[in-house]
């Protein structure tokens, strides 16, 4: 059950996305990086149910609490739920971090078939419902990915106005919701980065090393640090392997691929492939990597604000992802478009540049977009206040802090 007196700020976007599926015969699954706010979305749903249905029987199981550590298998889960079901009341089942229960899918399928409760669960693994498991529960679930706070949510949670100062704070500490509850003292950044480093270690140990049986944890840490230093750089597993050989570290390409996949499955990083603008054909070689949360990335580097352009790219990528777009790096002949966001046959094109302080830069950033042969929205995103406006060919230039609040409808 919800802890008495628990305070939280609502994440209305996720509530709106799940409401159409409430009290319907479908399992609601929230996935996302650890500490991105999945549990609190469950709390909000439980509070809403109790508000409109006071007699509802809510069964809440958090596998990370000592109270539920005995729930290790599907049979344990079914037994516990059966003991708490109430025949004359509407039953709602909430299971937090369900991936900790072995073969949980068997319990979900059985409970779903019995039709005795409306089911909600969370998980911190991107492949939670993939492969055989997806087939096993096909047609029985809807999956909603929960991201760290968007910039708009960050302003709301931290009670800030949309200023350059607020933007720089977001680019430094990122969007993990808990950070908004830290005391606003001179030590805020120190406290924030202590927390972020602890969360990073927890993700690495629990969601990557333990779950994926990683043998070379030191290499995994070095690989993650390498990605943090090179967000937005175009490379491949082969390039990383060759780089490591130059550092006298012999690591097969397949091992690099396996470790990158493990980091992706834990939602720590995202691989962004390249696509051909003409037909959105995906190239199999060469991709970029971005972090799910900028703050976690910054916790891994010596000078977090040292390369603002990289942080800007990561923020734009996260924004497009949070809007539900499929994101690729665009390739138009020998030119590159930083991001192509696609959804339901429509697209948005975005170039990211720190400053536009000379004609060559303007020609490159605007020119690449102006050559894209369609009429979908095109943006240059910058920190340069003087460059904001619209080009003669319809490319819109926006300051980053305003673009991250844009209502994208495609």
Concatenated DSSP letters of 247-282: TT----HHHHHHHHHHHHHTTSEEEEEEEETTT-PE
Looking up tokens 């597993």 gives 237
Q: How many angstroms separate the Cα of 265 from the Cα of each of 114, 262, 373?
A: 31, 5, 35
Query: What's residue 139's pLDDT?
Result: 84
Query: What's residue 135's pLDDT?
Result: 75
Q: Which among 267, 266, 263, 296 is positioned nearest to 175, based on CA atoms?
A: 296
Query: What's residue 250's pLDDT?
Result: 80
* pLDDT tens digit at each of 410 positions of the chain: 444 445 678 999 999 999 999 999 999 999 999 999 999 999 999 999 999 999 999 999 999 999 999 999 999 999 999 999 999 999 999 999 999 999 998 999 999 999 999 999 999 988 777 765 677 788 889 999 999 999 999 999 999 999 999 999 999 999 999 999 998 887 888 999 999 999 999 999 999 999 899 999 999 998 999 999 999 998 878 888 787 777 777 888 889 899 999 999 999 999 999 988 866 566 666 789 999 999 999 999 977 667 899 999 999 999 999 999 999 999 888 889 999 999 988 999 999 999 998 888 888 889 999 999 888 999 999 999 988 887 768 899 999 999 999 987 66
Query: What's residue 1's pLDDT?
Result: 45
Query: What's residue 60's pLDDT?
Result: 98
How many angstroms from the chain centroid is the CA of residue 182?
22
Give the span between the Cα atoms of 403 and 401, in whole angstroms: 6
Q: Fold for domain 12-145?
A: Rossmann fold (3.40.50)
Give the span between the Cα atoms of 107 and 238, in whole angstroms: 41
Give the span between the Cα atoms of 278 and 275, in whole angstroms: 9
Query: What's residue 290's pLDDT?
Result: 97
Give the span between the Cα atoms of 82 and 77, in whole angstroms: 9
DSSP 79-100: HHHHHH--TTS-EEEEEESGGG
Give the span between the Cα atoms of 163 and 161, in whole angstroms: 6
Q: Which residues contact 50 (CB under 8 A, 6 or more apart)?
A: 56, 58
Query: What's residue 220's pLDDT?
Result: 93
- How do 91-96 and 57-62 pair as beta strands? parallel
Give the span between the Cα atoms of 130 and 79, in whole angstroms: 26
Give the span between the Cα atoms of 198 and 180, in whole angstroms: 16
Q: What strand order describes the sheet that includes 91-96?
A: 57-62, 91-96, 117-123, 27-31, 141-145
**Which residues are 62's β-sheet partners?**
96
Residue 167 near residue 401 (C-beta atoms within 8 A): yes
Query: What's residue 47's pLDDT?
Result: 94
Per-domain boundaries in the chain: 12-145, 151-236+269-403
Q: Which residues contact 24 (CB under 8 A, 6 or more apart)?
A: 118
Q: Computed from CA positions of residues 125, 126, 132, 134, in that sequence, does the dihedral angle turn out positive or negative? A: positive
Q: Which pTM was predicted?
A: 0.93
Q: Which among 356, 344, 347, 349 is positioned nearest to 382, based on CA atoms?
A: 356
329-344-133-86 Cα dihedral, nearest 10 degrees: 130
Q: How many residues does the chain have?
A: 410
Neighbours of 133 (CB within 10 A): 16
- How do 269-276 and 282-291 pair as beta strands? antiparallel
Give the span between the Cα atoms of 311 and 3, in whole angstroms: 37
Q: Which among 358, 396, 376, 354 is positioned nearest to 171, based on CA atoms?
A: 354
């Amino acid at each position: 059950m919800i802890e008495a007196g628990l305070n939280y700020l609502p994440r209305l976007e996720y509530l709106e996305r799940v409401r159409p599926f409430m009290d319907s015969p479908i399992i609601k699954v929230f996935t996302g990086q650890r500490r991105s706010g999945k549990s609190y979305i469950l709390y909000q749903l439980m509070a809403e149910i109790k508000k409109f249905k006071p007699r509802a029987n809510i069964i809440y199981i958090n596998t990370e609490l000592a109270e539920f550590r005995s729930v290790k298998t599907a049979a344990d889960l079914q037994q516990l739920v059966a003991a708490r079901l109430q025949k004359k009341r509407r039953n709602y089942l909430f299971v937090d971090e369900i991936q900790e229960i072995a073969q949980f899918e068997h319990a979900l399928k059985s409970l779903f078939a019995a039709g005795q409760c409306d089911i909600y669960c969370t998980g911190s693994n991107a492949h939670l419902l993939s492969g055989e498991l997806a087939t096993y529960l096909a047609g029985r679930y809807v999956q909603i990915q929960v991201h760290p706070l968007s910039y708009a949510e960050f302003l709301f949670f931290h009670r800030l106005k949309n200023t350059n100062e607020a933007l720089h704070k977001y680019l430094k500490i990122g969007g993990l919701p808990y950070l908004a509850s830290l005391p606003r003292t001179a030590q805020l950044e120190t406290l924030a980065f202590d927390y972020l480093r602890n969360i990073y270690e927890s993700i690495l140990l629990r969601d990557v090393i333990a779950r994926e049986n990683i043998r070379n944890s030191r290499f995994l840490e070095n690989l993650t640090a390498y990605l943090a230093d090179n967000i937005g750089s175009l490379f491949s597993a082969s390039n990383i392997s060759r780089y490591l050989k130059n550092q006298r570290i012999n690591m097969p390409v397949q091992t690099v691929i396996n470790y990158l996949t493990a980091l992706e499955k834990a939602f720590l990083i995202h691989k962004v492939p390249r696509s051909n603008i003409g037909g959105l054909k995906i190239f199999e070689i060469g991709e970029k990597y971005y972090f799910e949360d900028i703050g976690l990335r910054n916790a891994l580097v010596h000078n977090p604000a040292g390369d603002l352009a990289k942080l800007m790219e990561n923020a734009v990528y996260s924004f497009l992802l949070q809007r539900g777009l499929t994101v690729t790096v665009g390739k138009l002949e020998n030119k590159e478009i930083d991001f192509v966001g696609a959804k339901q046959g429509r697209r948005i094109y975005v170039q990211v540049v720190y400053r536009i302080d000379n004609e060559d830069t303007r020609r490159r950033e605007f020119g690449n977009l102006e050559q894209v042969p369609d009429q979908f929205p095109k943006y240059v995103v910058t920190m340069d206040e003087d460059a904001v406006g619209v080009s003669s060919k319809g490319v819109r230039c926006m300051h980053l802090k305003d673009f991250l609040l844009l209502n994208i409808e495609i």
